[in-house]
Structure 1
Amino acid sequence: MFQKVITVDDLDTINIAVIHALEELSIPEIQHAKYCDEALLKIKKGLVDQQPYDLLITDLSFKLDHREEKLQSGEDLIQAVKRIQPDIKILVFSIEDKTHRIKNLIEKEGINGYILKGRNSIPELKKGIQSIYNNDSVFLSPELAHTLLDKSLLEIEPYDIELLKLLATGLTQEEVSLQFKEIGITPHGTSSIEKRINKLKIFFKANNNVHLIAIAKDLGLV
């Protein structure tokens, strides 16, 4: 089993519950942090002391307060930790259920597990920790597993994401065309953009642009 684990959450109740679960797994050294910057410092110290952490368990969302933090989200922390300790195992424990966001964490950041916070999440957390220790495939909460097996979102390209983001800010197709031209994204003609929007509306079964943006936001695309 893992020998040294750090859990990061800004809620004491969550940290306490996770620590209790880790204790039940007989993990000898458990640390916790309420801030991402604090967690990164502890992980750096572990490397300097040649006593690195085996596993990072982190939330994604952290409320801002009086402290000025460089790392303001779980994604920021994961990216920073991966740069200094690429082989550390990472388990996300969050209420966030946006499919696109989770897929990015798995495919781009290489996390080892994702568990949704909920009524029965602590038993799932313990199962996930054991699974990750055994080097099994990415561990997912059951309610996420079938959703992420849906390959349809893989057809959405970076171009589509940028288009949806600009539309979500209230830009017209003509304004999006100018913006794309300025930053060198092609195709940037208004007719090409209109065709792409129509394709996205068909793909997502959206009735209009407003409905399309609402669906994109629900999926975490924008």
Structure 2
Amino acid sequence: MFKKVIVAEDFDSINLGIEQALRDLDITNYQHTKYCDDAYLKIRKAIIDNEPYDLLISDLSFKADYREVKIENGDKLIEKVRAEQPDLKIIAYSVEDKSHRIRSLFTNSDINGFVMKGRNSIDELKKAMRLLSTSELKYISPEISSVLQENNNYEIDDFDVLIMKHLSLGTAQDDIRDTFISLNIKPNSKSAIEKRISKLKDFFKANNTVHLVSIAKDMGII
């Protein structure tokens, strides 16, 4: 079982549940932080002191407050921590249900587990810790695993990224069309651009173009 654990979670009520799960597994050496910046600094210091953590449990979304932060969400924390300590076991613990975001965590940051917060999440968290402490297998909450396994043939390409970059700059669709025509980027008809934006919103489950841009930025696509 894990010997030294750090938890990045900004809600006290959820932290209490995680702490109970750790105690149930006889894990007594743990710390929790409410800010990703603090978690990252603690992990770096532990490495320098030659007393590294062997498990990080992190939420993905952190509510902004009066404090200015450099690492604003769990996705970026996990990315930075993975670069610092490649062998650290990482569990993302979140209400996130967007398959593309979860898949990105497994593919790009090589997380070891994803537990979805819910009615049975504490029991799931304990199952994940038991599994990850004794094997190199991955743990995924049952309610999201089927979504991740769905066959989705749509792939994001350079054309999609270019459109989203223009949207992020506040460029109107007519102006995107004119830019594409001037640069001989095809397809460049207004209807083709509208259809591609619609596909992107469906793929990312975005409510509107602003939401689409926000998701793309969170994932580091633009």
CA distance in 1, matches of 2:97, 2:165: 19
2:93 is aligned to 93
Deviation string, structure 1 residues 57-111 (Cα, Å, up to 9, x no partner):
0001111111111111001111121221121111000011111111111101111
2:205 is aligned to 218
With 37-46 and 157-166 compared, the bigger mean Cα shift is at 157-166
1:105 is aligned to 105
2:188 is aligned to 190
CA distance in 2, matches of 1:145, 1:15: 24
Deviation string, structure 1 residues 110-156 (Cα, Å, up to 9, x no partner):
11111110011110111111122223432111011110001315633
> Which amino acid is 1:12 matched to?
D
CA distance in 1, matches of 2:89, 2:109: 11
Q: What is the CA RMSD across the aligned residues, in angstroms?
A: 2.8
Q: Check 1:108–1:159 CA distance in 2 against 1; reply closer, same or farther (3 A cut).
A: farther
SS of equivalent to 2:109: coil
Deviation string, structure 1 residues 197-219 (Cα, Å, up to 9, x no partner):
54x58xxxxxxx4xx46524426
Task: State the percentage of identical aligned residues.
Answer: 40
Question: Structure 1 regions of 5+ residues with no counterpart?
Answer: 202-208
With 134-143 and 45-54 compared, the bigger mean Cα shift is at 134-143
2:78 is aligned to 78
Give the TM-score of the pair, scaled to structure 2. 0.81
1:38 is aligned to 38
> Which amino acid is 1:148 matched to?
L
Q: Check 1:25–1:213 CA distance in 2 against 1; reply closer, same or farther (3 A cut).
A: same
Alpha-carbon shift at residue 170 of structure 1 (Å) = 6.6
Aligned length: 209
2:25 is aligned to 25
Alpha-carbon shift at residue 28 of structure 1 (Å) = 3.4
- Contact 2:71 2:77 (8 Å CA) reproduced: yes
2:175 is aligned to 175
- Contact 1:174 1:190 (8 Å CA) reproduced: no
> Which amino acid is 2:36 matched to?
C
SS of equivalent to 2:115: strand
> Which amino acid is 2:22 matched to?
L
SS of equivalent to 1:190: coil
Alpha-carbon shift at residue 17 of structure 1 (Å) = 0.7
CA distance in 1, matches of 2:132, 2:159: 34
With 145-154 and 71-80 compared, the bigger mean Cα shift is at 145-154
> Which amino acid is 2:20 matched to?
H
SS of equivalent to 1:92: strand
> Which amino acid is 1:152 matched to?
N
CA distance in 2, matches of 1:87, 1:159: 36
- Contact 1:6 1:32 (8 Å CA) reproduced: yes
- Contact 2:55 2:89 (8 Å CA) reproduced: yes
Alpha-carbon shift at residue 160 of structure 1 (Å) = 2.4
Question: Structure 2 regions of 5+ residues with no counterpart?
Answer: 207-211, 217-222
